[in-house]
Copies of this chain bind each other. A is one copy, B any other.
Amino acid sequence: MMNVGIIGSGQLGYMMINEGRRLGNKYFVLDSNGVGPASLIADAHFSVDQYKEFVDKCDVVTYEFEHVLEEALLYAEDQHKLKPSIRPVELKKDRSLEKDYLTGIGLKVANYRVAHSFSEAVRYAKDFGKAMIKNSFGGYDGKGQTIYDNGNYEELKGEKFVVEEFVDFDYEASIIASRSEDKSFRYHDPSFNYNRNAIFIYNYAPIMPANMPDIAKKLMDSLDYVGVMGIEFYVKNGEVIINEFAPRVHNSGHHTLLGSSISQFEEHVRAITGIPISQPILYRPSSSINILGTKLSTDAWNSILSMSSTQIYWYGKEEIRRRRKVGHVNVTAGTVEALIDKIGKIMEIIYPDGIENYI
């Protein structure tokens, strides 16, 4: 039994605590946003100015999001308590470092160039023909990025940009993998992911893994990584190109809460507390569908839960606004075909007038 600290108090931390409960640990949260979902169910929560007290109280400290209080990360790292280490967070702070690191260890990303002004970025984009221009610092869920297409783009502010050649992918995919201190490596079956307006909408597993597990292992070994990582890919003609990685439990791993022998959240807690991680078995094809920017009506709630093998996770966020994740639906089915059919029905229930009105 350990005191486990989580930096960040969103829904990822919340599910980490809820899934980690059975292991008997205590869970403490460093909450940078008032009282977030994770704080509501933690054994105790601390405000950001209490970060030293928080770290001192914990046997191990992890993060549920990589853009959190740097002092807390540094102090936990300094106390040899931070898992995963601060290294992947540093890579994530600057997209250009992430790209350079991935290519440096021989992994394939989209062709890219680093620009030090927006006008330079536009020049590179023009060279590529069609490209994504992304602010190198911060930004997630599509913030701080624009598509350059045939001279059309949105102006971005910033000092450094990564310009990626547009990948005309067949589909997007991801893998959730875990690695422990003793270098054991495990992974959940990769999933097909549907994103829209640069935000994750739904996914389902399993899909053919291609070489995604090998890529995950190579990346995690190179970082001597401890914990769960999510890696997003573009897939084109069976070839797998890394979009980006997340050094934490991942939005595309929520489906592991239903229909799997272990969830990504329990796997993460096991890895960072030094107990054996487990090769996940997917009992049946499984999907997760985000609830974004809408409070489900009672009818919608009941319609979804009346379907066979469904769960709703409601995060208890007070404010519901466009693009904000407020919950998700998990669903399984006997076959991938039947699952896709159920996903369609659930999407219609959640977004009766079309997803574009919520994101």
What residues make up the interface of A, taking CB atoms closer than 8 Å to B? Answer: 1, 18, 21-24, 40-41, 43, 258-259, 261-262, 266, 270, 275-276, 278-279, 281, 283-284, 301-302, 305-306, 308-316, 327, 332
Contacts and interface: CB of A to CB of B under 8 A. Distances in A.
A327 to B, nearest CB: 8
A24 to B, nearest CB: 3
A1 to B, nearest CB: 7
A305 B41 contact: no
A316 B40 CA distance: 20
Contacts of A276: 302, 305-306
A92 to B, nearest CB: 28
- How many protomers of this protein does the assembly include? 2
Nearest to A310: B278
A311 B24 contact: no
Contacts of A266: 311
A309 B332 contact: no
Across chains A and B, which 10 residue pairs bring their CB atoms closest together, nearest first?
A24-B314, A283-B283, A261-B309, A22-B313, A276-B306, A276-B305, A18-B21, A24-B316, A276-B302, A281-B309
A312 B22 contact: yes
Contacts of A258: 261
Nearest to A261: B309
